Amino acid sequence: MTVVEVQPSVAKRFSKASKRYHEAATVQQQVGRNLLAYNPVRNAKVAVDLGCGPGSFVPALMPLTEHLFAVDLSPAMLRQCRLVDDQVVAVQGDAQQLPFADNSVDLIFSSLALQWVSDLDSMFEEAQRVLKPGGSLVFSCVTEGSLWQLKKAWLKVDDYDHVNRFASVANIDKAANHARLQKAIGVVRPHTFWYPDIRALFGSIRDVGANTVIGSKRQGLIGRQLWQKFQQAYDRFRTEEGLPLTYQIYYGVVTK
C-alpha cells in the first residue's frame, strides 16, 4: 500500500472551520441528504463515514450499521463528531490510506470529501481493498464545471487560479473502473445557491473550510482595486434571488 502525504493546508482549514461548520454547511447538508437516498445498504455490520466532518450524517448512518467508524483528516472535526454520538468510533485518517483491514467494510459513505483527494486512483483502490465482496462505496463529490461564476469573474481580474480544478465525471468513472469497482449509480446534478452579496457568498465557502485552492501560486491579499473589479464582474450574474453560485455534484454508487 502506498504511503500518501496528507495535505496540511486542507486539514488546517477544515480544523479551523469545525465549530461553525454545522451552521454554514447549507450545500453540504443538502447534498448529504440526497446521497443518503441513493444508499442501497440498509444492514451493514461495519460502515465508514469517510470525510465525516463534524458528524452531520452520523445520526442517519448509525441505524444502518452495527459499527460506525468516522474518518477525517482533521482532529478538530473528529472532536465535534464524537459529541454527536458517543458510540461512533472517530479515527484520523486519509482516504488514500484507509486504516482498515482488507475485506472488512460493508459500506463506505463519503459526501463532498473526495474532491480534496489528490489521487483518485489510490482512493478507489483503497476502497476496493477494504470493502467486502458485495460492499458499496456511496459518494458525492464536486466535479468539473462547478463554481463557474467565480471562475469567470476572476478571469476579469488576473490569470491566477482562484478556483480549484475539479475532476471530470470521465476521470472519476475511469478511476473506479480501474479499481475493479462496478458502477451501480452515476448521476450529475447541478445545485445553485443564492446569496445577498459577495461577502455572504465567500462566507459560505470559508465557513466550511473549503477556501483552499490547491496548487495556487498567488501570494498575499487581493488589493482593493482588484477586489472591486472582481465584485463588479460577479455582480453581472445577479438575479432577483441574489448572487448565484453553482455546483455540479456527482452522486455515485460503486460496488465490489
Q: What is the pLDDT of residues 45-90, one digit of tens each?
A: 999 999 998 899 999 999 999 999 999 988 888 998 899 998 999 9
Band the pLDDT of 222: cuts 50, 70, 90. low
Only one residue has cell 495556487, namely: 216
Q: Is it the case that residue 37 has pLDDT exceeding 90?
A: yes
Q: pLDDT (tens digit, 9 = 90+) per residue, 103-122?
A: 999 999 999 999 888 899 99
Q: Is residue 73 part of a domain?
A: yes
Structural domain boundaries enclosing 28: 8-146+165-193+246-255
What's the rounded Cα separation, in Å, for the pair 196 and 250? 27
pLDDT at 214 over 50: no
In a domain, 210, yes or no: no
The reply to whether 69 falls in a domain is yes
Q: Confirm whether 213 is domain-assigned.
A: no
What's 57's domain CATH number?
Answer: 3.40.50.150
Q: Cβ–Cβ contacts within 10 Å for residue 196, how many? A: 11
The structural domain count of the chain equals 1
Averaged pLDDT for residues 133-161: 90
Strand partners, 190: 248
CA-wise closest residue to 111 among 76, 163, 60: 60
